[in-house]
Structures are given as structure tokens and as C-alpha cells.
Structure 1
């Protein structure tokens, strides 16, 4: 995805300009390179923002960024040319990083085995099937070790870029470029940007009937007993089959639907939080605040401040 490659290049170039001005120096602080597979010539540097700095035999970068492809799984290789190159870079001291579907190629090196990593939520099933030794955290926008960083979501490239700037040049440089580009410092989570999309392709018609009934009604006042009755199954059988079909216990599923409705109401910014709690079945606003904070990582009021849509501007 060349837009991301060019976006990263521009961000690092502007960081270099801003840092030079802040430091009152003409000396460059960042060197930006692009690498490409040239076929018979192998993987070589094809763009260099400071070509005069090249040294004979130079081959190891400080940080390698693997950008995403439009079709993420195409990032894996039959012949591990890039994978071997990345392993060599890592062995030489380079920090390896990946964005979104770029994690496929990073995973193929084997360097993520036994580690926590992230990627775009839609890629997790394929990645988990291909690389079961990796612990994928679908809620995290970023996972960060000393030598490997992964970010999930296509636009998370800005988070990665800021983390790299912070590592190489410090917090002041990171905040400076973040303010200049009007982007948030890297403290987000994917769960704030995901909609609950439950599995309805599991083939269990009794459970599917219960799901359809639940989705067709307001979440307030519905019990697990109601859900079991809609399925036509005895409670214990229903609970077991529901978990097997959806990956969630009935109460967990019901809670996610309630929190999804709460998110919609909070983002719409039209009703008091006490009314939001009531609309999704909480008579006690304190219990709603606690449940929402546990599920979303924000108190309802803070979530509204961050994600609410103004209707007056």
C-alpha cells in the first residue's frame, strides 16, 4: 500500500526538519530508506534520503517497517526471500515492525512465535490458522517488545511512526510531529473502533433462531431464559451449544449487545448517561458505569467526550 509508504516517508522527513530547527542544527537526525527485491540483484536499498551517508558494505538498518498489502495474506511467501532478509536484519540488531497485514510476513520469519502480536481484526482468523504459536491480541492497536513492534489496523501506521520517533529521538520529537500533523499520540486500542459482529454462519439453527430474536429486540429486560426458550432447547444444552456456536457464553453475548447499544447512544450525544443506562436495562447507573468501563476501558462520560458527535457544529 504505497500511500502508507509515502505517508511514513513524509512523516519521518518532517520530523527530521522539525528536530533540526528545534536543535538549531544542520545535521540530519533521521535517514529514510526504501528496500525492494530487484530480482537477480537481490533485496537492495532503492531510496535513500541521505545517499551521501552510504558506507561500503552497509546493510543493516536500525528499524525495518513492513507495510500492509491490500490483500493481507499475500504478504506470505513461497520462497522465503524477504523472510530470510528480515531474519538477517534482526540478527544484526534491527528492530522489526509490521503494520496491519504486514504481520503475515513478520510471522513467517518465526520471530513472533511465543510472542504477543496484533494485526487488523479481520486478519486474525487466517493468521491464527497459519501461525498458531503466536498469541494474537485483537484488541490491541500496538504490541511492543524491545526488538519487535506490531500494529493493527491500516491507519495504525501513524501510531507506529510516533513510537519509532519516540524511540529514536525522544518524547519531545514525538509530540512535536504529532502536534504538527494533528494526530494523537499512540495510546489507542482497536476495541474502541470495532463493532460487535457475532458469528451467524455456524450452522446451528436453534442457536441462530435465538440470536435473531435477540437482535430484533431491545437488549433491556431480556434474560438468558428468554434466549433458551427462543431456541427450543433445555437450558444446559442451550448454554453449551450457544458457546460452541458463537464462542461466547449467553450472558457475555447479551452484554456485548448491550454495550454496543450504549456506544451508539453515547456517540449520538443526545441523551443523558442515566437514560443510556436505563435504555439498555440498567436500573443502577453505577452498575452501568462499572460494566461499561470494564468492557470498553473508558467510563461512559469519558467515552462520550472522546467519541461523541456534536449535533451543533
Structure 2
């Protein structure tokens, strides 16, 4: 199959819901077929991964839609589970492998109880995540540093995406199709499968998807740091120091790796956080501006308009939860 391959790996851990694994596999195949009809240069490669070897010491592909292609997964998804939650000890080997893949640039995703596997990596500490409401209290108790928010079906935090309900694999799958193949293919996939993706067909308001698989470890380290702390109170000297680079070298390498200057990159991350608050909270624009790191609400409004194409007030009026509830 010709085209630029992006591999999505699905994890077959003990108790994983096979309906979700096979459903996502079919979902991405439908998207690929529609993308080919549009002469898209992008192709989704889907693989299934399971720990093998002595005591589960190594992860291996046990299914691959493009078995002869080289490369590693750009995205790894922990599906739901219908069984008992695994112990932390049982999850440790796979969590360790996931953490290494994330450090190499892979985006991690989870659905429902799959959030426990992502949480075991330690990468969600200090960050928001969602899971099925049944598991919310247990997730919070096991991993108290996570901000558990089960009011949201999906929390897209750039390099980590968590989805809540047992059937939210459809929402996660469509979000990834939107990110990788574009909103047109996402919308057509949803229509073909008779799945309703509310709001996700808004091509001009797609969430920021940072480039992570560029191979520059120093820059990737800074990106993970910025994502984890919301790009608040950052400065060029602080970012360069975090990368262990001289400032001019850091600027050059950051722009080459991400396609954005550091200031622009931080603006996109902050606006992403602000959009969530505008959609799901009643906080004022001034409060949100301060929460995401802007002391001047006027400057925040200008940046938001530049990045999103709408003012904060118009964005809330169009996409806020209160409007959705009244539809």
C-alpha cells in the first residue's frame, strides 16, 4: 500500500475488550478506504501488541495490516477491560514499555479502564485524565497525583488522550482520524458507520496536535515538560536549560522539530487549555486567561482569536456545554 504510514498500536493486555480492539481496527480500515477514495497520501497502519517472552519481558506485534513496513507505533491505545482491574504489579512490565515508547515520541491513548495502564507509567501525574465513572474513585485513590475528570468524554492533552466510557473507543478513534487524516475523512467515516461525532466536524477548530516523532530527544524532553505544566511561566532561557542547549541552538532545533517557534508553541498549548475551560466551565474569560498564564486578558483574547479564529466569547457561545445541552 503506497503512502505515508502512521502506525496505531492496540494493546492486548489481560482482560482487554476484544470488541474494542477489533472495532478500532475496522474503524481505521474504513477511514483508510475513504482516504484512498480522496487520493490521500496518508495511510493508517494498525497493529496489535502483546507482551511475550520470559515473564512478559518484550512487546511484540501479533497482528499488522502492513507487516513488511518498518517503523514503530506513533500512537498506542490501551482499550477498555470487561474483567477485574489488573494489579499494579501485573501492569508494571507493559507500563514500563509504554513509558519508553512515549519517551521516543509515541502518543498514548486509553479508553475506560485502559486509563489505569497509562496511569501506571507515571506520565499522568499532575495532568487531567478521564475514565468510566465507575472507576473514577479507584483511579483517584491509586494515583492521587492525577486530576480525574469524568465529566468529560475525552481529554486530549496532546501526547496523551484519555476517553471515558466503555464505548468511547468510537470517539477516540474518530478523534485520531481527524488528527491524522483530516476532518473530511473523519466526518465521512462517522457517516458511513452511523456514528455521531458532535462538533468534531468543525475543521477550523481542530485541537493542536504537537509533532512528537521528530527524533530530537532534547526538544522532545522540553515538549513533554511544557505539556505537563500547561506551558505556564515559561521563558526561552528556562526551555533552553531544560533541553541542555544554548539558546540560539535551542531556537533553531525547536523550530525545525515542531514547525513552530517556542512562543507560538506555548500559545497553542495555552489556548488548548483555555478552550476546554470555555467549553466545560462557567469561569469568566478573565479568570481563564489568568489560569492559563496570561496576566493581561486583552493579550489573551488577541492570541485566542489568532489561533482559533473566534474570540473566546464567540467560541463559548458556539461550543460551550450549556449550548450543547440546549440543542
- TM-score, L = length of structure 2: 0.54
3-state SS of 1:143 partner: strand
Match of 1:90 in 2: 102
Q: Which residue of 2 aligns with 1:11?
A: 27
Q: Tell me how far apart the structure 1 counterparts of residues 91 and 155 of structure 2 sit (CA, whole Å).
A: 27
Which of 34, 44, 52 is residue 38 of structure 1 equivalent to? Answer: 52
Mapping for residues 1-313 of structure 1, pairs under 5 Å: 1-23=17-39, 29-40=43-54, 42-53=58-69, 55=70, 58=71, 60-71=72-83, 73-74=85-86, 76-78=88-90, 80-185=92-197, 187=199, 297-298=322-323, 302=327
Alpha-carbon offset, residue 38 of structure 1 = 1.7
The 2-side partners of 1:15 and 1:139 are apart by 28
Deviation at 1:78, TM superposition (A): 3.6
Evaluate the alpha carbon distance shift between residue 97 and residue 299 of structure 1 in structure 2; reply closer, same or farther with a 3 A threshold: closer
Compare CA radii of gyration and give the structure with the larger one: 1
Question: 1:66 & 1:49 partners in 2: Cα distance?
Answer: 18
1:179–1:113 Cα change, 3 Å: same
Following superposition, the deviation at residue 6 of structure 1 comes to: 0.3
Tell whether the 8 Å contact from 1:73 to 1:101 is kept in structure 2 after alignment.
Answer: yes
Distance in 2 separating the partners of 1:102 and 1:72: 12
Structure 2: gaps of 5 or more residues? 1-16, 201-320
Q: CA deviation at 1:300?
A: 7.0
Q: Would you say the 8 A contact 2:130–2:155 is kept in 1?
A: yes
State the 1:298 CA deviation. 4.8
CA distance 1:11–1:79, shift in 2 (3 Å): closer
Q: Is the contact between residue 119 and residue 150 of structure 1 (CA under 8 Å) also seen in structure 2?
A: yes
Contact preservation (8 Å) 2:132, 2:150: yes
Which residue in the other structure is 1:262 paired with? none
SS in 1 for 2:125: coil
Pairwise CA distance, 1:301 = 5.3
Structure-2 separation of matches of 1:45 and 1:151:
24
CA distance in 2, matches of 1:45, 1:299: 41
Query: 8 Å contact 1:72–1:102 — kept in the other structure?
Result: no
User: In 2 relative to 1, CA 186–35 (structure 1 residues): closer, same or farther, beyond 3 Å?
Assistant: farther
Alpha-carbon RMSD across the aligned residues, in angstroms, is 2.2
Q: What is the alpha-carbon distance in structure 2 between the residues aligned to residue 135 and residue 82 of structure 1? A: 23
Stretches of structure 1 lacking an aligned partner (at least 5 in a row)? 189-295, 303-313
Structure number with the higher helix fraction is 1
Q: Which runs of 4+ in 1 moved over 4 A?
A: 298-301
